[in-house]
A and B are shown apart, each in its own frame.
Chain A
Amino acid sequence: MAEMKRVGDLEVAEDLKAQRRNWVFATVGSAVMVMVALAGLLGLFGGEGVLSRATVGNQNDTLYIQEYERFLRFGKPTTLHVSLDTAAAVQGGQIRLWINREYMMGVQLQEVDPQPDTVEASPERLIYVFDAEEGPEDRPTEITFELEPDEMGTLAGRVGLDGGASRTFEQFVYP
């Protein structure tokens, strides 16, 4: 209490310099909070929102990632939605879709829809094998993976058809 100031008869530790600094801090802080809220609304912090929802490739490709989220949150379920050109994807009565192992280490697989008939593991990939009918099918085959992020930070994903096209995508997992 060395620098006690007097204002008239009042002994009060008023400090206009500090006061002004604090006001600036409050103003900047409020602006930051508003921006955080807006960014959240746009999906920058994961979940829905235009900044988060993304696709890879386009609808007519053999392999098209129809939906994934760029920004995820730790432990919050997310969907990876893959759409395949049925005629090109089915070979020998099977669809063999793989995902890189590294990516799968970073997430917990909750469910694959439709259920694969078998899963084959290789050091690099997990191959999901679905029995499928061959034929001149013009409707795409859609496969969804329900995932739960298990690691924070960047996840590098790659999905592909065994011996065919592949697509990469990147996701960021918030704590």
Chain B
Amino acid sequence: MESILRAALIYLIVWLVMRVTGKRTLAQVTVFDFVLLIIISQASQQALLGDDLSLTNALLIIVTLVGIHLLFTAANYRWPAFDKFANDVPLVLIDDGQILEERMRKTKVSEDDILEQARMAHGVERMDQIKYAVLERTGGISVVPRSAG
């Protein structure tokens, strides 16, 4: 019983912390985020396993984690409102060439971030070639260039 509760609790805690930290942490893995992820996984591993290194314990934990994951996935599909909270919502950052400054500030996305994504995905050269930019739920930025629209 303890393993199950442990796994569920750790899952929820890590999920909450990552959810609070924001989606950008996961999508764009910078050196900071990389360090953070490694350390978090190390710290939670101890709490997850406790002093029980048995195969049974590992099995129980894995099954629990995957189970919770499936539940979350089902809940996301079933209740859109839950999905919007759990997975966040996309946010338009550039609307028809117009940069929405306040949203960029709130989401801490810079114009450079958008240009970078535009270059990588579409070979876009300048800001005025971008029609739409959306901060997606995964934390990535999708760019729609003008010529394509």
Contact = CB atoms under 8 A, between A and B. Distances in A.
Contacts of A3: 80
Given A10-B92, A12-B92, A22 B106 contact: no
> Could you tell me the dominant secondary structure of chain B's interface residues?
mixed
Contacts of A15: 84, 89
A76 interface: no
A13 B90 contact: yes
Contact of B20 (A10, A21, A33): A33
B40 interface: no
A29 B16 contact: yes
A26 interface: yes
A35 B16 CA distance: 15
B84 A12 contact: no
Interface in A1-56: 3, 7-10, 12-15, 18-19, 21-23, 25-26, 29-30, 32-33
A13 B134 CA distance: 11
B132 A29 contact: no
Contacts of A32: 20
Interface string A136-172: 0000000000000000000000000000000000000
A14, A22, A30 — most chain B CB neighbours (10 Å): A22
Interface in B115-149: 131-132, 134, 144, 149
Given A7-B92, A12-B92, A29-B16, A22 B134 contact: no
Q: Chain A interface: which size bin? A: 20 to 34
Contacts of B90: 12-14
A22 B20 contact: no
A19 B89 contact: yes
Interface in A69-84: 75
Interface string B51-91: 10000000000000000000000000000110011001111
Nearest to B144: A10
A33 B22 CA distance: 13
A22 to B, nearest CB: 6
Contacts of A33: 17, 20
A18 B95 contact: no
17 contacts: A3-B80, A7-B95, A9-B96, A9-B131, A9-B149, A10-B132, A10-B134, A12-B90, A14-B90, A14-B91, A14-B92, A15-B89, A23-B106, A25-B20, A29-B16, A29-B19, A29-B20
